[in-house]
Chain A
Amino acid sequence: MPTIEVLPSSSTTSGPNWTYSNLPPALAHRNTLPVATRVRATRNNNFENSAARQRQINTRILELENDNYRDVNIPIPVKGKGGRSSNRTKASSTQNVRRILASQKTFANHLADEEALHPSVTGSAAATPSHPTSGLLDAQVLQDEEDAGQPLGYMAAASAPPTKPKRVFCEICGYWGKYRCQRCAARYCGLECGAVHTDTRCNKFYA
């Protein structure tokens, strides 16, 4: 006779040799709870590699490149008593100068312009080295061909992703992040930091 072992769970009540189950009859013999499936689904969902997680990371990286915590607008101080103009004999500036001084473009704007103007310079095609022949070829050939090449452009000059696996750290104390919060994919190192995380930092209140 097969032994049926009922594992304790919130939706079953069991005693020796009997059990109550509030599961639908179709599920009762497996004792698979809807709750359990949901938890497993959460655990297996690949949030770490999802687009949403990537967006989070990108936002954070952008924040790390900010000069100030909040947006500020610092105007040029008003010139006092023209101390500087004594050095300047020129009364008016040229059209180019006025255009450049009035420009409110940011670096991102310039980068987009550059990409639109010279797609080959900033595009990924430029990432391929201009000397595929470099290697054990005839040195004379190299000598003739070689030059410093074209500038790669901003995008293509970025360092390539590493081959080493990514390391993860506890978001609370900075130690290795062995565990992952099931709700928000944040890493923590143990119970203590996990509790701090759930109390203060866990930013996902629904699974």
Chain B
Amino acid sequence: MPPKPTRTLVVDNGSYTIKAGFAAENAVPEDCLQVPNCLARARDKRVLVGQQLDSCRDFGSMSFRRPVEKGYLVNWEAEKEIWDRTFLDSDSKLQCDPRQTVLLLTEAPNAPSALQSNCDQMVFEEYEFSAYYRCVGPTLIPWNNIGALYTPDYNPSTNPPAEACLVIDSGFSHTHITPIINGQLWNSGVRRIDVGGKFLTNYLKEMVSLRTYNMMEEPYLVNQVKESVCYISTDFSGDLEKCKALKNSANPIVVDYVLPDYNSGKLGHQRAHIPKKLGSARDDEQVMVLGNERFTVPELLFSPTDVGLKQSGIPETVIQSLESVPERYRNLLLANVVVVGGNANIPGFLDRLQSELQPLAPSDAIVRIAKPEDPITYTWQGGVALALDKAEMKRRQVTRAEYLEYGTAWCAKKMAGEAVSGSETKTTETKEGRSHKKRRVDDS
């Protein structure tokens, strides 16, 4: 039997959702399947895995188990269950035969090497993918046409990856600032802020539990509230004064969130504030009034010290990161800032970042910040672009035969773009010292 044509499965394995899909010409973001990366237990003790969560209607008191902890894939017992159902189940859209599939998988920067080798072993020994390339998520971004984010009809004169690009990846468990030069991660410039979507959700949960209803057991609901009402203020102290001085009824910032009713299946939604004494339209609805919570919560991204976390906000961290990058790249990076990840969808993010980053940047630098249309799947789209460049992909990937021949350490070395022996692909860009893994491999 002739072997089926191999397809490439691009998987951006985030802590909140898995973004996965097959690489194809003219792939659109809609081709990307977003699977909740968790096991959830509902009130009635049912355990829902991954995609099953989409069919769930009752999110009351739901608890979660997430295999990806702080952005790193830690618990394979749970992850295997989710992957099995997503990639192997016959009724899944992404059903595939791993033996005929190439896997492109993302990880967070600075992953512990034990976790990386666990991942390699699971991919080759349990799933038996025919070939595999594991890379740091943000390095896929420059494979997109990022020029088009700044000027819509931009046509790149050079082939991807873009020469320099500063990716701000603000995801569920943390925010990473990653300078990428010539398609390669600039390791010494990677910085992390331990504020992500989960942190914000929990902060909001704490606040509303104190001020309105007790929501401590409702992380899912509070996450929805956060996504629908929170915004990043461009005039923080002004908005704070406004919330103090004005009455709720006269304050444009104050909104109501009508809580969902899981019994009748009504969904929660946001609406303009209606004062209580005017008589709320309906008696059967519960309303949560939100004022300064709307902007003090995402403010943590720009000022983590507000909760005592001793880290700088995004603009200062960008500057810290640039200080580790050779000077001639700094302005280039500042002119190509791309914001991805779920938090990029918070309204006002770009304006605030622009207004705070410009004064910190060198005076001759132009700061250009862009947010792709869909910041959540943008990394995945970059992965598709890389996967379609067959020659480049072939050069980077590790085949199963190579894994069985040379073992884990060799594979990790090759995927880090390190010179490896014994492979016909040992050619072009493998200069000395470009090691991601070199030292670790020599140690072992």
Provide the A85-104 mask, 1 if CB < 8 A to any CB of B, else 0: 01110100110110011110
Residues A34-82 near B (CB distance < 8 A):
57, 60-61, 63-69, 72, 74-77
Given the complex, which residues of A lie within 8 Å of B84, measured CB to CB? Answer: 84
- Contact between chains at A100 and B39 (CB < 8 Å): no
Q: A57-B308, A107-B70 are in contact. Are A175 and B240 (CB under 8 A)?
A: yes
Q: Is B203 touching A64 in the complex (CB atoms < 8 A)?
A: yes
Q: Which residue of B has the minimal Cβ distance to A168?
A: B306
- Would you call B340 an interface residue if the criterion is a C-beta within 8 Å of the partner chain's C-beta atoms? no
Give bound CA distance, A173 to B311, whole Å. Answer: 24
Residues on B with beta carbons closer than 8 Å to the beta carbon of A191:
none
Query: Are A74 and B327 within 8 A (Cβ)?
Result: no
B389 at the interface (CB under 8 A from A): no
B374 touches A (CB below 8 Å): no
Q: Which residues in B have their C-beta under 8 angstroms from that of A148? A: 181, 184-188, 434
Distance A75 CA – B304 CA, assembled complex (angstroms): 34
A112-160, CB < 8 A from B? 113-114, 117-118, 120-121, 129-131, 134-136, 139, 142, 146-154, 157-160
Give the complex CA separation of A37 and B163 in angstroms: 66
CA distance A149 to B326 in the complex (A): 12
Write the nearest CB–CB distance from A52 to chain B, whole angstroms: 13
A159 touches B193 (CB 8 A): yes
A174 to B293, Cβ gap below 8 A?
A: yes
Residues of the A chain whose Cβ atoms lie less than 8 Å from the Cβ of B185: 148
Q: A118-B439, A118-B443, A152-B187 are in contact. Are A74 and B199 (CB under 8 A)?
A: no
Q: A106: CB under 8 A from chain B?
A: yes
Known contacts A110-B115, A148-B186, A158-B194; decide if A174 and B207 are in contact (CB<8 Å): yes
Contact status B219-A68, CB under 8 Å: yes
Contact residues of A: prevailing secondary structure: loop
A159 to B176, CA, bound (A): 9
Contact flag A101-B77 (CB < 8 Å), given A129-B323, A146-B326: yes
State in angstroms the CA–CA spacing of A134 and B320 once bound together: 14
Residues of chain A with a CB closer than 8 A to B327's CB: 134-136
Residue B33 lies at the interface, judged by CB distance under 8 Å to chain A: no
Q: What residues of chain B lie closer than 8 Å to A102, measured between beta carbons?
A: 77
What does the 1/0 interface line of B184-228 toward A look like (CB < 8 Å)?
Answer: 111110111110001100110011001100001101000000000
How many Å lie between the Cα of A136 and that of B328 in the bound state? 10
Residue of A nearest to B193 (CB): A159
Chain B residues whose C-beta falls within 8 Å of the C-beta of A162 in the assembled complex? 303, 305, 311-313, 316
Contact of B306 among A87, A93, A117, A167 (CB under 8 A): A167
Given the known interface contacts A64-B199, A84-B88, A87-B90, the answer about A110 and B112 at a Cβ–Cβ threshold of 8 Å is yes
Verify B311–A158 contact, CB threshold 8 A. Answer: yes
Rounded to whole angstroms, the CA-CA distance of A53 and B293 in the bound complex is 24
Q: How many Å lie between the Cα of A107 and that of B310 in the bound state?
A: 21
Check A100–B118 contact: CB distance below 8 A: yes
- Chain A contacts of B109 at CB under 8 A? 151, 157
- Chain A residues near B113: list those with CB within 8 A: 114, 117-118
Check A151 against B89 for contact (C-beta < 8 Å). no
Cα separation A35 to B350 with both chains bound (whole Å): 54
Interface residue B244 (Cβ < 8 Å from any Cβ of A)? yes
Q: Indicate whether B114 reaches chain A with its CB closer than 8 angstroms.
A: yes
Residues of A within 8 A of B63 (CB): 67-68, 72, 74
A107 proximity list for chain B (CB < 8 A) = 69-70, 72, 74
Contact with A along B68-79 (1 / 0, CB 8 A): 011010111110
Cα A157 to Cα B202 in complex, Å, equals 24
The reply to whether A60 and B112 form a contact with Cβ atoms under 8 Å apart is: no
Q: Are A159 and B308 in contact (CB under 8 A)?
A: no
CA distance A97 to B88 in the complex (A): 17
In whole Å, how far is B401's beta carbon from the nearest beta carbon of chain A? 16
Q: A158 touching B121 by the CB < 8 A rule? A: no
**How far, in angstroms, from A161 to B440 measured CA to CA in the complex?**
29
Q: Are A65 and B89 in contact (CB under 8 A)?
A: no
Indicate if A179 sits at the interface (CB-CB under 8 A): no
Return chain A residues, CB-CB under 8 Å to B75. 103
Residue from B88, B118, B193, B324 in contact with A131 in the complex, judged by beta carbons closer than 8 Å: B324
Q: How far is the CB of A158 from chain B (nearest CB, A)?
A: 5
For residue A166, which residues in chain B have a CB less than 8 angstroms away from its CB? 305-306, 308
CB-CB contacts below 8 Å: B402-444 with A: 431, 433-436, 438-440, 443
Decide yes or no whether A181 CB sits under 8 A from chain B: no
Bound-complex Cα distance A129 to B309 (A): 23
B317, A159: Cβ atoms closer than 8 Å: yes
A76-B81, A159-B320, A160-B311 given as contacts; is B110 within 8 A of A172 (CB)? no
**B73, chain A: closest CB distance, angstroms:** 10
CB distance from B384 to the nearest CB of A (A): 24
- Given A64-B199, A87-B97, A120-B439, 6 more pairs with CB closer than 8 A: A67-B66, A84-B88, A86-B90, A142-B328, A157-B110, A163-B316
Between A and B, 28 residue pairs with Cβ closer than 8 Å are A57-B307, A57-B308, A64-B307, A66-B202, A68-B219, A69-B217, A74-B47, A75-B47, A76-B47, A87-B89, A90-B128, A100-B76, A100-B121, A106-B74, A111-B112, A118-B113, A129-B324, A134-B327, A142-B326, A142-B328, A147-B434, A148-B181, A150-B436, A151-B190, A152-B190, A157-B190, A159-B191, A162-B305
User: Nearest 5 pairs between A and B by C-beta?
Assistant: A57-B308, A149-B188, A114-B112, A74-B65, A162-B312
